[in-house]
């Protein structure tokens, strides 16, 4: 498809409709498939194009306006052609304090573009983004939603220079190599690329607290009504402990316990509770 055509070439539309059929099979309520379908057309066009909007509307029995309303709500959907790589610099509170704003400014100067702008060669779209949920690695930037942790202005500029030269880059965590924007969009549409288990999933900063808790035998206090080992299966718990994969504290759903009474929540003593003796108070 070229320009802003409102229909796809017959062979492209046939291929997209075949992929869409796979997506639609996952959703009893067909219109619930809109989000992955938008990623699908974005994988084709590098943005949510007029033709993509029309196709989604036709597949789901929606109007173009209804599809556009969703596409314009979420920032992962682009309304104009995106670069091969989306470089998102976190400038939320912690990353900003740790240097995120300086990183953005240096990268912006090096690329010659500002927020939500794409380099003339179509290589990189630069964005300021909100929290990446990686505050323990601040300052963080992402390339096509892969993490690059503990960045500096210099390392960030080196990274975008490598991307601009179309050199392979490896994120700190996750896949072994960053894919281009269209390939990433196809994965977000629900088509696996076989790379989900590549690379580390968590780093030392995320795991250190868990390790220390296990070393000291710390666990969360038991909540009234929490499931016991007998409830969850003693054999399963023992096997997990032997394998070193047992969780710290109790795992339970919020539906498994009774909410505290107002007096419990405030720490007040119920009227019918015995008063503490002097000895108990001293203890």
As a whole number of angstroms, the distance between CA 46 and CA 31 comes to: 22
- Predicted confidence at residue 223, as pLDDT, reads 76
The answer to whether the beta carbons of residues 120 and 156 sit under 8 Å apart is no
- Mean pLDDT in residue range 169-186: 94
Is it the case that residue 216 has pLDDT exceeding 70? yes
111-163 pLDDT, tens digit each: 999 999 999 999 999 999 989 889 999 999 999 999 999 999 999 999 999 99
Evaluate whether 40 touches 11 at the Cβ level (below 8 Å): no
| Residue 242, pLDDT score | 56
Q: How far is CA 125 from CA 74, 100, 112, in A?
A: 16, 17, 11
Contacts of 240 (CB under 8 A, 6+ apart): 246, 247
**pLDDT score for 232:** 53
Claim: this prediction has a pTM higher than 0.95: no
- What gap in Å lies between CA 185 and CA 173, rounded to an integer? 19
């Amino acid at each position: 498809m070229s320009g802003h055509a409102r229909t796809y070439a017959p062979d492209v539309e046939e291929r997209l409709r075949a992929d869409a059929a796979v997506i639609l099979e996952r959703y009893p309520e067909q219109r619930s498939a809109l989000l992955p379908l938008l990623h699908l057309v974005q994988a084709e066009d590098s943005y949510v194009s007029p033709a993509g909007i029309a196709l989604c509307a036709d597949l789901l029995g929606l109007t173009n306006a209804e599809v556009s309303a969703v596409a314009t709500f979420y920032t992962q959907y682009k309304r104009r052609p995106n670069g091969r790589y989306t470089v998102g610099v976190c400038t939320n509170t912690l990353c900003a304090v740790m240097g995120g704003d300086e990183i953005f400014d240096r990268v912006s100067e090096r690329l010659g573009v500002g927020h939500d702008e794409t380099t003339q060669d179509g290589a990189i779209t630069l964005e300021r983004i909100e929290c990446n949920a990686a505050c323990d690695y601040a300052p963080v930037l992402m390339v096509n939603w892969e993490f690059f942790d503990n960045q500096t202005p210099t390392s960030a500029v080196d990274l975008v220079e490598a991307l601009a030269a179309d050199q392979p880059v490896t994120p700190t965590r996750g896949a072994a190599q960053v894919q281009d924007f269209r390939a990433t969009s196809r994965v977000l549409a629900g088509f696996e690329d076989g790379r989900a288990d590549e690379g580390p999933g968590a780093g030392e900063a995320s795991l250190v607290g868990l390790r220390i808790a296990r070393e000291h035998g710390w666990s969360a206090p038991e909540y009234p009504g929490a499931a016991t080992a007998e409830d969850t299966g003693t054999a399963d718990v023992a096997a997990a402990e032997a394998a070193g994969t047992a969780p710290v504290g109790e795992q339970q759903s919020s539906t498994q316990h009774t909410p505290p009474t107002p007096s419990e929540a405030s720490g007040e003593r119920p009227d019918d509770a015995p008063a503490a003796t002097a000895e108990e108070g001293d203890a």
